[in-house]
Amino acid sequence: MRVVFERNVACPMRDGVTLRANVFRPEEGGPYPVILTRLPYGKDTGFAYGLLDPIRLAETGYIVVIQDVRGCFASEGEFAGFAQEFQDGYDTVEWASKLPGADGQVGMFGASYFAYTQWAAAASGHPALKVLTPTVSFDDAWAGSAFRDGAFEWGLSASWYTTAMAIVELMRKKQGSPDFPELFGRLVFDANHLPEFGYHELPLDQFSPLKRAGVLEDFFTQLRHSTYDENWRAISIRPHYEKMQVSAYLVGGWYDVFLDSTIGSFQSIRKNGQDARLLIGPWTHSNYSNAVGELDFGMAANSSFLNFQYDSTTLHQLWFDQQLKKLENPLAKEPPIKLFVMGENAWRYAGEWPLPETVWTPYYLHSDGHANSINGNGSLNTTTPDEEAPDHYVYDPANPVPTTGGNLLMTPTFRPGPANQAVVEQRDDVLIFTSEALTEPLTVIGPVKAKLWIKTSAKDTDFVVRLTDVYPDGRSINLADGVQRMRYRDSIVVTELVEPGEVYAIEVNLWATGNVFLPGHRVRVQVTSSNFPRWNRNLNTGESNETTSAFIVAEQTLLHDADHPSHIVLPVIP
């Protein structure tokens, strides 16, 4: 089937602003469903085509629309961030459903920000929108996008605003002005040197790359809203799930920065009675191949093959065929959940999340008070502790634990995904607890949480927990991690400082993983107080960590005895 291409097709919004889109349509026949995506990164750039080939999809009987969101590239207006996508999403679906040759049905696709534009359009409630395919998506900007259990996602925010958004906005606002060459050159320099300079700046609300360029006030606005207030609730998708009438095929990665939101969205759509599917690979936010971080998971993990069944475009087509054309295909016969299990490097199907057969198994932290670094004597097993001396370490914001792998979306210097923790585990401000070598495989699939009993000398501080798989050759490969900023331990709406020297029980959410610890491997847990620059340093003073620069050293204590049985809970699959 021949495909006709139209560039910069005008799409009027209700306020008179015109957005523009590229349209791919079959030359003959119809009417056809419309498949839409809306992104801020440019409809004529590679970002728009990484997940789905619009020509291939149009050849199978769809009209494909790729639109620049408001204030970006060819579209008019001022870019106002996530808040603009609800009304603009509704208006665009209305327009798309009435395109020449359209049958009135609309589906959407896209990753990251243009996965969020899918949720925003669905939340707006247009009846023509029937089906979504959000990839590496988030549904709440405070929870895991801007903040993670109180800690600011500094690495993500500084990188995304500076590298992905600021240059585009600077060109739109100031191109042609006498100082544009100087501003542009400096901004590019700042983007290239975030690891050396920008990430280390204090206070955060004076972040110089954006201050000098005079762009993206939204970045500084979020720093003034460090609790979950109306500013964040207004752009959250979560209150809207109950009224959504859409099916959704969600794709995520064990090392994606929005993994928790992807799983939560899947559960919310299913709870609402709609058809929902979940696919999780061993991927990061932007790498869906088989070689991720320092590991190669085998060709079956590559999204271009997907267990040698289909590539990403074909997967989208099958889902749209099933939902919009009511065609029978292999997807209808698959269970709703498809997970890549690391370690054994194989795909596994499931009907529910968490998996119904899960055995929630606590692994307790032990030592004689000297678990500091890989040279300490921390151990990990399923036996509850008796009388044991607590562990101590010093957290100095001037010398934080460096970010090493994980669920990252940062500058390329900080490589996301699985990474050997050797350098991190040499530090005395990292407590290490390691199991004996396994004699049988240990399968862990599902949510992971840690419960710790701690003390600190500070009014506010952080505790970070990381789960790793220790290989027989000594490599310690990260699987999941989490952070708890103490002032948010009970609420994300109303903060409360801690009393120095008092014992607190806290829960640290490590999100989830899917991994088989093979025979000869060991299970390891790290406990520390920083992961920089992924999360901003807690300055330990009790004052704002975003608008101040003074800091103090904190003396940290981890208890693990009969009255304070610190442990991590693993979702073990028999």
Q: 568 vs 74, 148, 481, 500, 510, CA distance in Å? A: 50, 19, 11, 24, 10
| Residue 521 known to be catalytic | no
Percent of the chain with pLDDT over 90: 94
426 by DSSP, 3-state: which? helix
Across the strands, what pairs with 9?
21
Of the candidates 402, 403, 418, the one whose C-alpha atom is nearest the C-alpha of residue 293 is 418
CA gap 88, 121 in Å, rounded: 8
112 classed as catalytic: yes
pLDDT of residue 174: 87
For position 173, what pLDDT does the model report?
Answer: 86
Per-residue pLDDT of 204-219, as tens digits, reads 999 999 999 999 888 9
Encode 155-167: b = buried (16+ Cβ within 10 Å), e = exposed.
bbbbbbbbbbbbb
Instruction: Name the catalytic one among 91, 139, 256, 462.
Output: 256
Indicate yes or no: pTM above 0.95. yes
Which residue type, as a one-letter code, is found at position 529? Answer: S
Please state, in angstroms and as integers, the Cα–Cα distance from residue 54 to each residue in 304, 330, 385, following that order.
16, 22, 58
Give a three-class secondary structure readout of 120-166: HHHHHCCCCEEEEEEECCCCCCCECCCEECCEECHHHHHHHHHHHHH
Residue 494: what pLDDT? 95
Give the C-alpha separation, 97 to 326, whole Å.
18
Distance CA 207, CA 443 (A): 44
The C-alpha atoms of residue 504 and residue 482 are separated, in whole angstroms, by 17
**Nearest to residue 155, comparing CAs of 25, 259, 257?**
257
Instruction: List, for residues 44-88, the tens digit of each pLDDT value.
Output: 999 999 999 999 999 999 999 999 999 999 999 999 999 999 999
Q: What is the pLDDT of residue 218?
A: 83
Catalytic residue among 68, 88, 103, 112: 112
Residue 274, pLDDT above cutoff 90: yes
Q: Is the pLDDT of residue 361 over 90?
A: yes
Task: Name the residue among 92, 25, 38 with its Cα closest to residue 64.
Answer: 25
- Per annotation, catalytic residue among 285, 316, 366, 564: 285
**pLDDT computed for residue 520 by the predictor:** 98
Alpha carbons 262 and 260: distance in angstroms, whole number: 5
Q: What is the DSSP string of 15-58?
A: TS-EEEEEEEEESSS--EEEEEEEESS-TTSGGGGSS--HHHHH
Q: Residue 277 pLDDT > 90, yes or no?
A: yes
Q: For residue 123, give both structure tokens.
A: 């939340």
CA distance 440 to 96: 55
Q: Measure Cα distances from 263 to 277, 301, 310, 406 in Å.
A: 10, 19, 22, 17
pLDDT, residue 297, reads 98
Pairing of strands 567-572, 359-366: antiparallel
Query: Cα–Cα distance between 422 and 419 in angstroms, integer?
Result: 9
Question: Mean pLDDT, to the nearest integer, of 85-93?
Answer: 98
8 A C-beta contact, residue 520 and residue 472: yes
In the chain, the domains with their CATH numbers are 3-135+237-350 (3.40.50.1820), 147-223 (no CATH), 359-572 (2.60.120.260)
**Residue 365: pLDDT band with limits 50, 70, 90:** very high
Mean pLDDT score of the chain = 96
By the 10 Å C-beta count (0-12 exposed, 13-18 middle, 19+ buried), 414 is classed as buried
pLDDT band at 312 (very low <50, low <70, confident <90, very high): very high
Closest CA relative to residue 205, chosen from 167, 133, 154? 154
Ranges 15-19, 139-143, 226-230, most confident: 15-19
- List pLDDT tens digits, range 166-183: 988 898 888 889 999 999
The region, left, alpha or beta by phi > 0 then psi within -120 to 50, assigned to residue 127 is: alpha
The pair of structure tokens assigned to 482 is 């989490």
Q: At 567, which helix (H) or strand (E)?
A: strand 567-572
Active site residue 286: no
Tokens of 63: 């009209």
Residue 359: predicted pLDDT: 98
